[in-house]
Amino acid sequence: MCDVDLILASASPRRRELLGLTGLRFLVDAPNVDEHTGLGAREAVQELARRKALAAWALHPGQVVLAADTLVAVDDHPLGKPEDEDDARRMLRLLSGRWHQVYTGVCAVDAEGKAHAGLDASHVRFAELTEDDITRYLATGECMDKAGAYALQGAAGLFIEEVRGTPSGVIGLPLPLTRKLLLACGLRVPAV
């Protein structure tokens, strides 16, 4: 295990890509955790990131572990990943023509097992979407594994009129916060 700097407790390809920008060597190991919390969006992402990080650290004691969780929220009501196309359509209608929040909780566990955590909050404004816009977007299939049924870095970027906050946080791993937490764990970032 000494040929890696940290463990990424996430299966998200977007998080892998963003973490890759740091130059750190990492192994992906995303243990399954219970994702039910009953909490509002801000608290839920922090709790889920902590659960994921600690579960991965239990599998890799002595390693630095990084985990994150992202939720889209309207009035602090979380919109997770859609269950089906009808649910995705409902979410996109809800987001149409309005501001919403994207919360990403990040937790890094250092080699000694101490958790370092933080929250990134961004505000995103969607354009007004027609039913045709929504139908065409749903046909891309992009929405099904995304919180809030969209991806800023994908075709839904056409609908994003403004982002106030950290674009990498909206994608799923806020790089400034991640850097701060990894530095607290003793890693040099960037390591390029």
Number of C-beta neighbours around residue 164 at 10 A? 11
User: Which strand (E) or helix (H) includes residue 53?
Assistant: helix 41-59
Candidates 3, 5, 29, 69; catalytic one: 69
- Residue 52 and residue 58: Cα distance in Å, rounded? 10
DSSP string, 143-164: GGGSGGG--TTSGGGGGEEEEE
Is 69 marked active-site? yes
Query: Any idea which residues carry the catalytic annotation?
Result: 69
